[in-house]
Copies of this chain bind each other. A is one copy, B any other.
Amino acid sequence: MTTESQSLCTRSMQAPSSHHRRAWCPSFKLREVASMYCTMVAIFFIILVAALQGTAPSENHFPYKVPLDPEGILELSWNISYTEEVICFQLLIKELKYGVIFGMSDRGEFENADLVVLWSDGKNSYFGDAWTDAKGQIHLDSQQDYQLLKAQKTFGGLLLLFKRPISTHDPRDYLIEDDTVHLVYGFLDEPFPSLEAINTSAIQKGLQRVQLLKPNISKPTLPPDLENMEITAPNIIIPNQETTYWCYIKELPDHFSRHHIVMYEPIITKGNEALVHHMEVFQCAAEIEKVPHFNGTCDSKMKPEKLNHCRHVLAAWALGAKPFYYPEEAGLPFGGPGSSKFLRLEVHYHNPLELKGLHDSSGLRLHYTSTLRPFDAGIMELGLVYTPVMAIPPKETDFILTGYCTDKCTKLALPQSGIHIFASQLHTHLTGRKVITVLAREGRVTEIVNRDNHYSPHFQEIRKLKKIVTVLPGDVLITSCTYNTEDRKLATVGGFSITEEMCVNYIHYYPQTQLELCKSAVDLGYLQKYFRLINSFNNEDNGNYSNSSVKEQFASVSWNSFSRDVLKSLYDFAPISMHCNKSSAVRFPGEWERQPLPEIKVGLEEVTPQCQTTPGLSPASPALVNIDGKKG
């Protein structure tokens, strides 16, 4: 029995048992006739499973793990079977009162969420697949796609094991894709007579972001001469404030020769798993001879200005991410001549409970080899130039800005055999909500390089691509970001400040080329025509605006349907200024101003999820849960 229940969450099984159950639940009138029988079978099945009291599946069954709440009371582990199209969750509840809520929603809200709920009426405990409506009211789902496999008390707490198909075809369920997923959780501190009686606005709850569907890539073998270097915070005390970005400068050893980083992994100080949100290691610019040592918050007034020249990403990790492996044929070069000795570690601590006096030595461990691999890996910036000419009007819910890497630039800068993108890190500032980069060849969008429809600026990680994307000379790369400026009063312009915006995709690729930056922005002359036109339409002062900055001109626009629509039309039409650069300052030779927008004749062919109900799934009644079993 134990083996059977375990195998439901491993990849070895061929036919999940739900298939068998489906066959016994026909639809329409026969369904009614047979419903009593179906219900009996289902109840028997659930009681049977819930009564199983075996040992927990061993750790390696759940390669992924994140704490959900800041105190780490709820801990989620999961695994994915792409062959069975099932995702299996293990929720460890360290302190159980009267139940917990776990689920997913568009951006972490408790409205329109897809939930599983474990609740108690004071006597019995129940488990059900539920959803919330637009007002946050919980309802039992008519199609029970989350299937409870086990509920077991252990010394560590209650373990809940449940699974669901990756794709359920139930419009009430969250569509799990390979981008950011906003997990939501809540604690039930009192008994509830029914699921509907739970008031989600009154409970302690929160959200956690994670990439649930990690790509199914086999680990490359590591070279035998692997060495490693830990870039960690030097036992600092985490400030008792919600958000801290900690900066620490680390110097490479003298005469450190050229190496290839082939893997890196996180080091998290035990106990701080819920506090360390993300970490990045940057290399400083080679031109800066001496970067002063520093150990403090990144926004400190004491932070030396020179640290701003440490922007070249070497490694990045975010909550839930596993060790990052380079493809077998490539490594990221560091060390040696022409490479700075100085590294900057940045750790983002998320401490919403403002806990005091916690020591931390988290960071990243870089694994590198002196036996250089066939190819140097490189990082290239796609998207928009950091300039105020690209702006988002205020009060927009989904305004799109697009940056281009044109055929002219890729023809000039890429080798004949192309480059191979294996990972990508998307980046915007605070109003970014979605990011996508597509590849277009001969006027036709052929591939998605990377897409996040639930992008959060608070959750940026380097993601391995499911499939390496090859970019040939003459290809076009188009990066679009969707912004929400509902809470802004003035236009949000492009720029470096956190209140300004960016639209960037850092692609990780090999072989390295001279092209570091392939980005665009609208032509300034056309933008000036836009300002003149809009001011004339709005019957405003037609004076000479040439003395005002672009940011000031955007600030003076009256935002109405016309000025909004025409700005969109302008960005879809006007020629662009291309940055086809060897470094942020040096362009490839050529004419890059007033370039035509790439012509895309055939857009992305989206596969719309099949809209089909699957009658015959579990009938809509919660499962009775036996959680008084023997201790593990």
Contacts and interface: CB of A to CB of B under 8 A. Distances in A.
A345 to B, nearest CB: 47
A60 interface: no
A561 B569 contact: yes
Interface stretch (A28-36, A194-202, A251-259, A418-426): A28-36
A22 interface: yes
Interface in A538-569: 560-562, 565-566, 568-569
Contact of A615 (B27, B529, B561): B27
Nearest to A22: B28
Given A533-B533, A561-B569, A562-B573, A26 B22 contact: no
Contacts of A562: 569-570, 572-574
Contacts of A572: 561-562, 565
A572 B615 CA distance: 45
| Interface of A: prevailing SS | helix
A612 interface: yes
A36 to B, nearest CB: 16
Interface string A580-617: 00000000000000000000000000000001110110
Given A562-B570, A566-B569, A536 B537 contact: no
Contact of A537 (B27, B31, B529, B560): B529
Contacts of A612: 612-613
A23 interface: yes
Contacts of A62: none
A26 B615 CA distance: 10
Interface residues of A, number: 32
Contacts of A459: none
A526 interface: yes
Contacts of A27: 26-28, 615-616
Interface in A484-516: none
A96 B137 CA distance: 63
Contacts of A22: 28-29
Contacts of A611: 611
A529 B534 CA distance: 10
A81 to B, nearest CB: 22
A93 to B, nearest CB: 36
Given A26-B26, A611-B611, A568 B565 contact: yes
Contacts of A25: 28
Given A26-B31, A27-B27, A27-B28, A560 B573 contact: yes
Contacts of A561: 569, 572-573
Q: Which of A28, A611, A612, A615 has the most CB of B within 10 A?
A: A28
Nearest to A23: B29
Contacts of A560: 573
Nearest to A19: B29
Contacts of A570: 562
A548 B574 CA distance: 28
Nearest to A28: B616
A25 B615 CA distance: 14
A582 B253 CA distance: 92
Contacts of A565: 565-566, 568-569, 572-573
A589 B31 CA distance: 68
Contact of A529 (B26, B31, B536): B536
A348 to B, nearest CB: 41
Interface in A419-477: none
Contacts of A537: 526, 529, 533
Nearest to A615: B27
5 contacts: A22-B29, A26-B31, A30-B30, A560-B573, A612-B613
Interface of A: 22-31, 526, 529, 532-533, 536-537, 560-562, 565-566, 568-570, 572-574, 611-613, 615-616
